[in-house]
């Protein structure tokens, strides 16, 4: 007899759980709030969208606006900002569609793929925003070199460019680091299991 | 209508709840986490019950949703299980004063299963529950052939843990 057959017998004969959950308790559980990974991705995703939309209201950007006006790039920046609105709605639509598509009735692989796809939508939106930061920084640098403002008036052009590049890179790194940490913690287990399942499905 | 659906769900679940308990016991190591996972599985089952429509057996459907919840949706990592305290296990046996060898085997089996990764656990669980390869491959979303190969590998790993 195979070693596992012995254990399998023990498994087959295992007694039912002593503390059976009653129908009433099951009912109470169905009314509880889910704390699944999907729920977290949804909440964090919405917060990210909200932050990206609201940050101009949270932070005082009136001073930046004045500087931009003085440099003659204000209108250009404003038009660019309006153009990002349809992009935001496109991402929001995609995010919601992918989220709604997640179903625990799917097979394990499909379910994990859908969860990852939903998260990727938010990630792509964040990447879009980071690229937008680079774009705005480039315009600002151009404006600063052409008509230096404030402290930048007495320094050489190459130093202005260098400072702007450094500030942008630091901002990008901070954003990206925070982002990786957040999703790293949240999706560590899912990613591990996904890799494991993908390995399982590789042809021998 | 909703009331009927609800009472049907509750009675189906109550009868089959042992499946969920077994999965919780495999994927968690303490009572609190067990209850936590049990609750999340319950939520997922109820949310999807309307879509179930009796196309498969309730229990078959339950296997899939419960395993999916344990593998993909339940947030807490089960990795720390690897460093589980063996003395805890021994203590429990002594405390409960088990003398039944089958009970001991079962505990040893669960302890060994805790050392497998989440996907191997699912494979072994479906094997222990006598599920055909077709169902295993459909549940996990892998090919039938791969399910066979990897099942044998998971079984070998389990044997090595049980009998090093």
Is residue A10 within 8 Å of residue B102, measured between CB atoms?
Answer: yes
Angle of helix A157-200 relative to helix A108-146, nearest 10 degrees, comes to 170
CB contact under 8 A, B149 and A32: no
How many domains are contained in chain A? 1
A196: distance to nearest CA of chain B, Å? 7
The CATH number linked to B31 is 1.10.1740.10
Task: Name every chain A residue with its beta carbon within 8 A of the beta carbon of B13.
Answer: 23, 26
The SS3 of residue B49 is helix
Is residue A116 within 8 Å of residue A190, measured between CB atoms?
Answer: yes
pLDDT given for residue A60 in this prediction: 65
Distance CA A55, CA A132 (A): 14
Q: What is the pLDDT of residues A77-116, one digit of tens each?
A: 889 888 888 898 898 899 889 888 888 888 999 998 998 8
pLDDT given for residue B95 in this prediction: 42
User: Which residue in B68, B102, B119 is closest to A111 by CB distance?
Assistant: B68
pLDDT given for residue B1 in this prediction: 60
| A25-53 b/e (C-beta count within 10 Å ≥ 16 → b) | ebbebbeeebebbbbbbbeebeebbeebe
Q: What is the mean pLDDT of residues A114-123?
A: 86
Distance CA A80, CA A61 (A): 16
Is B81 inside a domain boundary?
A: no
Q: What is the mean pLDDT of residues A42-63?
A: 76
A144-158, B39-53, B101-115, B133-147: which range is least confident on average?
A144-158
pLDDT given for residue B4 in this prediction: 81
Q: What is the mean pLDDT of residues A132-155?
A: 85
User: Which of B7, B72, B92, B133 is the best residue to mutate to test the A interface, defined by the most A CB atoms within 10 Å of its own CB?
Assistant: B72
Give the domain range for residue B143: 86-164
Is residue A38 within 8 Å of residue B22, measured between CB atoms?
Answer: no
| B15 and B59, same domain (yes or no) | yes
User: Which residue in A40, A108, A188 is closest to B77 by CB distance?
Assistant: A188
CB contact under 8 A, B109 and A7: yes
Distance CA A161, CA A137 (A): 10
Any B CB within 8 A of A5 CB: no
pLDDT band at residue B97 using 50, 70 and 90 as cut-offs: very low
| B67 and B91, same domain (yes or no) | no
Q: What is the mean pLDDT of residues B39-66?
A: 87
Is B103 inside a domain boundary?
A: yes
Q: Kindly identify which residue of chain A lies nearest to residue B154, measuring between CA atoms.
A: A200
| B113 and B135, same domain (yes or no) | yes
Q: Which of these three, B14, B49, B76, is where a domain ends?
A: B76
Contacts of A30 (CB under 8 A, 6+ apart): B9, B42, B43, B46
The SS3 of residue B30 is coil
């Amino acid at each position: 007899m195979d070693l596992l057959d012995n254990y399998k017998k023990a498994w087959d004969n295992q007694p039912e759980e002593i503390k059976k959950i009653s129908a009433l308790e099951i009912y109470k559980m169905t009314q509880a709030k889910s704390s699944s990974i999907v729920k977290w991705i949804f909440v964090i995703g919405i917060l990210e969208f909200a932050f990206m939309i609201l940050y101009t209201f949270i932070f005082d950007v009136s001073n930046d606006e004045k500087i931009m006006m003085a440099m003659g790039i204000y209108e250009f920046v404003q038009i660019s900002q309006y153009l990002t609105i349809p992009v935001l709605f496109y991402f929001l639509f995609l995010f919601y569609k992918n989220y709604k598509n997640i179903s625990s009735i799917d097979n394990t692989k499909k379910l994990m793929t859908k969860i990852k796809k939903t998260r990727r939508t938010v990630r792509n939106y964040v990447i879009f925003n980071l690229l937008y930061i680079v774009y705005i920084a480039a315009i600002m640098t151009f404006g600063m070199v052409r008509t230096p403002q404030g402290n930048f008036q007495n320094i050489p052009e190459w130093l202005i460019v260098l400072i702007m590049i450094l500030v942008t890179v630091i901002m990008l790194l901070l954003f990206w680091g925070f982002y990786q940490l957040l999703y790293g913690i949240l999706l560590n287990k899912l990613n591990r299991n996904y890799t494991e399942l993908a390995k399982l499905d590789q042809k021998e | 209508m909703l009331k009927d659906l609800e009472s049907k769900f509750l009675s189906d679940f109550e009868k089959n709840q042992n499946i969920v308990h077994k999965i919780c016991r495999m994927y968690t190591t303490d009572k609190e986490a067990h209850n936590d996972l049990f609750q999340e599985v319950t939520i997922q089952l109820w949310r999807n019950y309307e879509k179930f429509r009796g196309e498969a057996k309730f229990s078959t459907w339950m296997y899939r949703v419960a395993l999916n919840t344990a593998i993909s949706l339940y947030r807490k990592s089960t990795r720390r299980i690897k460093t589980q305290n063996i003395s805890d296990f021994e203590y429990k046996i002594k405390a409960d004063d088990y003398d039944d060898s089958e009970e001991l085997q079962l505990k040893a089996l669960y302890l060994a299963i805790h050392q497998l990764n989440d996907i191997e656990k699912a494979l072994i669980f479906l094997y222990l529950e006598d599920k055909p390869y077709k169902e295993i491959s459909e549940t996990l979303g892998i090919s039938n052939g791969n399910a066979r190969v990897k099942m044998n590998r998971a079984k070998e790993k389990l044997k090595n843990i049980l009998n090093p």
